[in-house]
Structure 1
Amino acid sequence: MTSLSATGAGSFVGGSAARLPRLDATAPYGARAKGVYAALDLGTNNCRLLVARPICDPGAPAESFRIIDAFSRIVRLGEGLGQTGELSEAAICRTLDALLVCRDKMAARDVCRARLIATEACRAAANGEDFVARVREETGLELEIISRETEARLAAAGCAALADSRAKSVLLFDIGGGSSEIVWLAPRNGAQEGQVRHWTSLQLGVVTLAERFGGAEVTFRQFTAMTELVVSELQQFLARSAKEERCNRFHLLGTSGTVTTLAGVHLNLSRYDRRRVDGLWMSHAEIDAVMNKLRGMSYAERSRNACIGPDRADLVLAGCAILEGIRRCFPSERVRIADRGLREGMLLELMRADQSFA
C-alpha cells in the first residue's frame, strides 16, 4: 500500500430517467472540452455534488474550473451500519431523495460528463451493490463504489494544490464518516499535484466512532479512548513513513467536515464561509484551543453553533479525536484547512482526460 495507481477517466451518467445524455466517446476533444462536468461524492454521512466548467482563459490559473452549481446534504447513509452490517431502509430513502436533487441539478445544467462515486458505507454494507442497483433503477444514476486506494488518490488530486510547495513532505488526511484516508505527499514546485509516497485508509470515521463511543455527550475517558484507538491504527503507517524526509516546513493538510468546522468555530463565523476557510492556516496552539472549546460545549451548545448545527453536533467530537490521533503520530506546528477534496479531484481528472485545459 505504498503507491497509488491511476484509474480511468471516470464513469458516465446514463439512463433516460436521469435525462443526461451519454457522452459520445468518439467525439473530438475540442467538442468535449466545451461541456459541463459533474462530480458526486456519496459518503457515509454526506451526499455532495459539484458542477463545473473548465476555464480555458490564458490569463487564468493553470488547470482551473468555475463551479456553476453545488449541493450538499447530510443523509447518514451509514447510520447503524456498524451494528447491522447493512444500509437501513430509512437511510436509503433519505439518500435517494438527495440523489434525485442531484440528478435534476445535473440535467438542468446539461452535464455531459460526470463521475458519481460511493465510498465506505457502500463498500462495507452487505447490501451495498443492491443499493447501487436501486439507485440506478429509481434515479437513472450510475454510482461507482470506489476502492480505498482510489479514494486516497482522489483526495490527493483535489487538495494537493494547497500544500506548501517548499515543504519536502506533507501529511494529507481526509476524515470521513466511515473511513479516514491518510496520504504522505511530496509536493512538486509549480505542479497541481504532489507525489504520493505512502497512503493508508483507516476504517474509522466520525459516524463509526460516534456510534461506538458516543457522540452527543463525550466524557474525557471516551475522548481519550477514541484518540488512543486512532493512534493504535496509525502505527503501521507511521512505521512505513518513518524514513521519509521532513523539514521545518512540514505540515498537515486536512480536508473534511471536521477541519472546516474547526476553522469556522476558530474564526467565530456567524455563518459558514468557504472563502474564509479554504486555504486557512491554523497553528498547533489554535487547533488545541478550538478543540478544547468544542470539548467544553454541551450537545445543545454545539447544535446551536452556526458552523456545526444539529446535524453534526453528535459527530464533531469524534472527528476531533481522529484529528488528535493524527497530530500525536505526526506532530506539526501548522495545519492547512481545505474545503475541497474528492469532488475536485474527480473534476480535475475528467477535465485532464478530455484535454480541457489544453
Structure 2
Amino acid sequence: MGAIDCGTNSIRLLIADLPEESAGSSAPLVDVSRRMEIVRLGQGVDRTGRLAPEAIERTRVALADYAAEIEKAGVDRVRMCATSASRDASNAADFRAMVERTLGVPPEVVTGDEEARLSFTGAVRGLPADAEPPYLVVDIGGGSTEFVVGTRTDGVRGAISVDIGCVRMTERHLHGDPPSPAEIAAAEADIAAAVDRALAAVPGREAATLVGLAGSVTTVVALAEGLKEYDPGRIHHARVPYERVVSVTDYLLGATREQRLAEPVMHPGRADVIGAGALVLRIIMERAGMPSVVASEHDILDGIAWSLAQPGR
C-alpha cells in the first residue's frame, strides 16, 4: 500500500506492507520505503489565500518521483491526503488537477478533524508501556496543529485542528534573523490563544501523556538529545522533559538561520521555520501542564496507510 501526506511544508511517502496477522493488532507496519521532501506548498497562503504556482510546481516534481517509485514497487492501493494549505487556498482546484494528472488518483483534502484522527491512529500504535493513557497527540505541521485526546482501547475522545503551524507563524510574526523580542511575544500570544482554545475543546488537560508528531517535534527532540546526526531510531519514543524543550526553543529563537543550518540534525528546508515550531511545542506543554513530551516518528502518514487496510478501501 502507498500513503502520501501532503502538508504545508513537506510531502511524504510511505510504501508499506501490513504486518503478519500473528503479529497482533499493535504490530507496526512493515516499511518498504519512507521519503520526505520539503516543498513548502503553503508558501504565502496565510497572506494571499492562494497556492503559489512555483509551490505547486515544486510539489509536482516531488510527486512525480513518488509516482515512479509507487509504480516500480507494484503498489495496489494508494491514498494521498492533502492538509492545511490545500484546505485554505482559493485555487485548490489547480492543485487537485495537478495531483490527478501526476499520480493518477485524486488527493483527498481532509478536514482538520480527519487529519487529527489519522495522526492519532498512526501515533498510538506501539507506544511504550510507560506512556500512560489517555494521550494528548499533537501534530505540529506547517499550516496547522492538530490536537487529539484518546486511548488505544476507546479511540478518540476529542479532536480539533487550529491554524498555528510553523510556516504560518513564521510568515505571520517571525521576520527577523533572529526574530526580535516583540516578534516572539506576538507569536506567543497568537499561539497561546489557539492552544487554550484547543485544549478546552478536546479536552487536553485531562490527558496523562503528551505525544508529539512531525518534523518540528522530532528536530527539537534530536537537538535536546544532542544527536550528531538525525537518527529516527533514537528519536522515536524518546521522552524529553519540559525544561530541555524550553532550552532548545530559546536557542533556536536566538540563533540566526545560518547557525540553525549548521546543526547536523537540521533539514535545510526546516531551518527557517523551526523556531516557530519549537515555540508551538513549548507553549502546548506550558498550557497543558505537561512535564515531558514523547516523540513519535509515526504519525498521519502511518494513519493514512492503516486506513487502506480498512474494509472498503
Structure whose residues are more often helix by fraction: 2
Task: Assess if the C-alpha contact under 8 Å between 1:158 and 1:341 holds in 2.
Answer: yes
Gapped regions of structure 2 (runs ≥ 5): none
> What is aligned with 2:120?
156
> How high is the TM-score relative to the length of structure 2?
0.92
Cα separation, partners in 2 of 1:251 and 1:75, compared to 1, 3 Å:
same
> How high is the TM-score relative to the length of structure 1?
0.81
> What is aligned with 1:261?
219
Per-residue CA deviation, residues 166-211 of structure 1 (Å, 9 max, x unaligned), is 63422110011111101122343xxxxx521122111121111111
The farther-off stretch of 58-67 and 315-324 is 58-67
Task: Assess if the C-alpha contact under 8 Å between 2:149 and 2:204 holds in 1.
Answer: no
> What is aligned with 1:314?
272
SS at match of 2:161: strand
Per-residue CA deviation, residues 203-234 of structure 1 (Å, 9 max, x unaligned), is 12111111111254222322222122111123
Task: Assess if the C-alpha contact under 8 Å between 1:163 and 1:253 holds in 2.
Answer: no
Equivalences for residues 64-79 of structure 1 within 5 A: 64-79=28-43
> What is aligned with 2:81?
117
Which one has a bigger Cα radius of gyration? Answer: 1
The farther-off stretch of 137-146 and 96-105 is 137-146
Per-residue CA deviation, residues 116-154 of structure 1 (Å, 9 max, x unaligned), is 111111111011022111221244242111111110110
> What is aligned with 2:163?
203
Task: Assess if the C-alpha contact under 8 Å between 1:164 and 1:187 holds in 2.
Answer: no
Cα offset for 1:241?
A: 5.0
Equivalences for residues 216-227 of structure 1 within 5 A: 216-227=177-188
Cα offset for 1:354?
A: 7.5
Equivalences for residues 238-317 of structure 1 within 5 A: 238-240=199-201, 245=206, 250-317=208-275
Equivalences for residues 6-21 of structure 1 within 5 A: none
> What is aligned with 1:169?
134
Cα separation, partners in 2 of 1:168 and 1:106, compared to 1, 3 Å:
closer
Cα offset for 1:38?
A: 0.7
Task: Assess if the C-alpha contact under 8 Å between 1:226 and 1:322 holds in 2.
Answer: no
Gapped regions of structure 1 (runs ≥ 5): 1-36, 189-193
Task: Assess if the C-alpha contact under 8 Å between 2:146 and 2:162 holds in 1.
Answer: yes
Cα separation, partners in 2 of 1:97 and 1:167, compared to 1, 3 Å:
same
Number of aligned residue pairs:
311
Cα separation, partners in 2 of 1:80 and 1:272, compared to 1, 3 Å:
same
> What is aligned with 2:146?
181
Cα offset for 1:274?
A: 0.5
Equivalences for residues 78-157 of structure 1 within 5 A: 78-157=42-121
Task: Assess if the C-alpha contact under 8 Å between 2:199 and 2:205 holds in 1.
Answer: no
User: Residue 287 of structure 1 aligns to which amino acid in structure 2?
Assistant: V
* Identity %, equivalent residues: 29
RMSD: 2.2
Task: Assess if the C-alpha contact under 8 Å between 1:171 and 1:185 holds in 2.
Answer: yes
SS at match of 1:70: strand
> What is aligned with 1:21?
none
User: Residue 232 of structure 1 aligns to which amino acid in structure 2?
Assistant: A
Task: Assess if the C-alpha contact under 8 Å between 2:149 and 2:203 holds in 1.
Answer: no
